[in-house]
Amino acid sequence: MSNLEANAVALGKEYQWFNEVIEARFTRYFQPAADAPDVQDLVPPDHAEGAGPYVDYLKGLADKIPQSDEGPVSHTEQVTAHRLLLLLALAPHLQPATLDVFFTKNTNFDRGFTEFGGLTGKQHGGFLPTGETALFLLAGGDLRRRMFFTGLFEESHFLYTENVLQLSGQKADEPFLSGQLTISNEYLTRFTTGDEFRPRYSSNFPAKHLQTPLEWDDLVLEAPLEAQVLELASWMSSEAIILGKWQMTRLFKPGYRALFHGPPGTGKTLCATLIGKKLGLPVYRIDLSQVVSKYIGETEKNLANLFNIAEHKNWILFFDEADALFGKRTATKDAHDRYANQEVSYLLQRIEDFPSLVILATNLKANIDDAFARRFQSILYFPVPGPLQRLELWENAFGENLPLEAEVDLKQLAREYEISGGDIVNVVRYCALKAAQRVREEHEKRAEEPPPKVIEAIRKIRKRDILEGIRRELRKQGKTV
Ligand SMILES: Nc1ncnc2c1ncn2[C@@H]1O[C@H](COP(=O)(O)OP(=O)(O)OP(=O)(O)O)[C@@H](O)[C@H]1O
Ligand SMILES: [Mg+2]
C-alpha cells in the first residue's frame, strides 16, 4: 500500500471518531441533561494493524508527552487531546464540512458562539479553527480542563518547535488563543501524500535547495583553505560527541557559523553545496540582498518559518550576498531603514541560535566589524586561484569530452590569465558552443553524413576561441586585454 493510501485509510477512521467527538461535545454543552457520552469516553480508533506516515507519527506521540499522574488529565487523555488537535488543524484540508457545525448561530444574540472561536477565510468558504475552537472541543465548559489544555499552545510545546502546527495571526492585546490553528506544509504533506517534503522557493519560503553533480575531488582549493573547509565539516560530524558525550554545552553552543568571503566565482557556493553532500544534509540558499531589501513585516515571518523548518530538519543554511547584513546596522534615516535594522538584528539572532551549520557568503571583505566577526567560528577567504589551481581547473573543465587542438597550452593559459574558476567555466562554455556550431555547419554544408575524421578535427577546442572567451570574461569585469 502506498503512503497516500495508508494515510487515507487511517485518517478516514480518525475522522469518523472526530465527528462523534464534535457531536458529543455539542450535545453535552447545549443539552447537559441528555444522555450523551462524554468526549473522553469515546474510544479513538486503534491503528495497531495500520501503517503509513500518519500512523507512525501517532505511534511515537505517547512517548513525547511527559508521563505524570498529577493534574486533572490522565496521560492517555492527553495523547487523545493531541490527536484531536492534529485532526482539527488538518480538517480544513481534509474534511472541511466537518467544521460547519461551528457556524451554528447563537439565537439569543443573532451571532456565532464566542466559545467556538474560529475564522472565516477570504476565499475559503469553510470554518477555520483557532486555538479557541480547539479548547472548546477539548474542554467544553470545564474551566480546569480548559486551563490545563492551554498548555498545548505554549510556544515551547513540541508541536510548534517541531514545526507540526502553528498558531498565528493574533492581534496585539487580544486573547492569544484567537490565533489561527494551522498545520505546517511539511506535516500536511507527510499526512497526505506521505512524500518527502521539499519546499519550493516562494515568498513563504525564500530558500532554494542547492545541488551539484560535482564531487569533493572536483573542488580545487589551496591546501590551507581546503584544510579549513575540512575542519568545518569535521566539526559537524563530531558535534554529537563533543556536545553530547563530553557535555560541553556549557561552553559551546550547538551548531557552527562560518563566513566565506572572496571575489566572485571562486567556489564559495560550490564549496557549501559540497559540504552538504559530504555530510548528507541538504543545503538551502537564501539570497539576503532580496530578503533584506524587500522588507515588509511578512519577511520576518517567512524567515521565521524557514528557520523553524531548517532547525528541525538539520538543514544547512547558506546565506548569499551576506553584505546586506553588514551595512545596515547603521543610523536609521527613515522607516524603511528602521525595518531593515529590525530585520537584521532578528536575522543575526536566529543565525546565532541556529543549532546546525550556517554559512554566510559575501564578495566584500572590508567592513566586517569585530562584533560581527566574533559571531563566527571560522572566517574563510576564497582567493582568486593561483597558477597551479588554475591549471587544474582548466584541465578538469575541458576534461575528456572536449579534446583540444595541438596549439592549446593550458599551462601557459594558467600562468598568464588571473581568472577565477567561475570565469574558466564560462570560457569553456563559450568554446564548447563554438565547437558545436562548427559541427552543425559542417552537417548543413553536406548532403550526407560528414566522415567521422572531419567531425573529430573540427570539434577540437581552438586556441583562438579560448583567448576570445577569456577576453569576453575580462571585458565583463571591466578589464581590457
Ligand atoms: N575552487 C573551485 N574549484 C572547482 N570549481 C570551481 C572553483 N571555483 C569556481 N568553480 C567553478 O565555478 C562555478 C562557480 O563558482 P561558485 O558559484 O561556487 O562561485 P562563488 O564564489 O559562489 O561566486 P559568487 O561570489 O559570485 O557567488 C562553480 O560551479 C564551479 O564549476
Ligand atoms: Mg556564490
329-354 mean pLDDT: 69
Say if ligand 1 is within 6 A of residue 270 CB.
yes
Task: Return d(Cα 218, Cα 428) in angstroms, integer.
Answer: 16
Position 365 confidence tier, pLDDT thresholds 50, 70, 90: low
Question: 35-39, 53-57, 249-253 — which is least confidently predicted?
Answer: 249-253
78 pLDDT above the threshold of 70? yes
255's CB contacts (< 8 A; 6+ apart) are 239, 353, 354, 355, 356, 357, 358
Overall average pLDDT of the 9-14 stretch? 96
Residue 425 CB less than 6 A away from ligand 1: yes
How many angstroms separate the CA atoms of 258 and 234, rounded?
13
CA of 396 to the centre of ligand 1 (A): 13
Handedness of CA 334, 335, 337, 341 (dihedral sign): positive
Between 268 and 161, the more confident residue is 268
At residue 335, the pLDDT reads: 58
Question: The domain 387-476 is classified under which CATH number: 1.10.8.60, 1.10.3720.10, 3.30.1490.20, 1.20.20.10?
Answer: 1.10.8.60
Per-chain residues with Cβ under 5 A from ion ligand 2: 268-269
Cα gap 190→11, rounded to integer Å = 12
Substitution candidate for ligand 1 out of 220, 225, 261, 270 with most atoms within 8 A of CB = 270
Q: Is the CB of 310 under 6 A from ligand 1?
A: no
The dotted CATH code for 207-381 is 3.40.50.300
- Portions of the chain given CATH number 1.10.8.60: 387-476
Which range, of 14-18, 72-76, 93-97, 416-420, averages the lowest pLDDT? Answer: 72-76
Q: What is the mean pLDDT of residues 65-82?
A: 87
Query: For the segment 436-469, what is each residue's pLDDT rounded down to a tens digit?
Result: 999 999 999 888 888 889 889 999 999 999 999 9
- Whose C-alpha lies nearest to ligand 1, atom 13? 422
Backbone φ, ψ for residue 318 (5° rounding): -120, 110
pLDDT in tens, 276-326: 999 999 999 998 877 766 655 666 777 887 888 888 778 899 999 887 776
CA of 243 to the centre of ligand 1 (A): 33
Q: Is the CB of 220 under 6 A from ligand 1?
A: yes
| pTM as predicted | 0.71
Q: For the segment 143-201, what is each residue's pLDDT rounded down to a tens digit?
A: 999 999 999 999 889 999 888 999 988 888 999 999 999 999 889 999 999 887 777 77
Is there an atom of ligand 1 within 6 Å of 255 CB? Answer: no
C-alpha distance from residue 329 to each of 141, 323, 332, 337 (Å): 51, 11, 8, 9
- CATH 3.40.50.300 in the chain, residue ranges: 207-381
User: What's the whole-number mean pLDDT along residues 389-406?
Assistant: 94
**Ligand 2 centroid to residue 305 C-alpha, Å:** 24
Interval between CA 37 and ligand 2 midpoint (Å): 62
Which residue's C-alpha cell is 457520552?
37
Whether residue 116 is predicted with pLDDT greater than 80 in this model: the reply is: yes
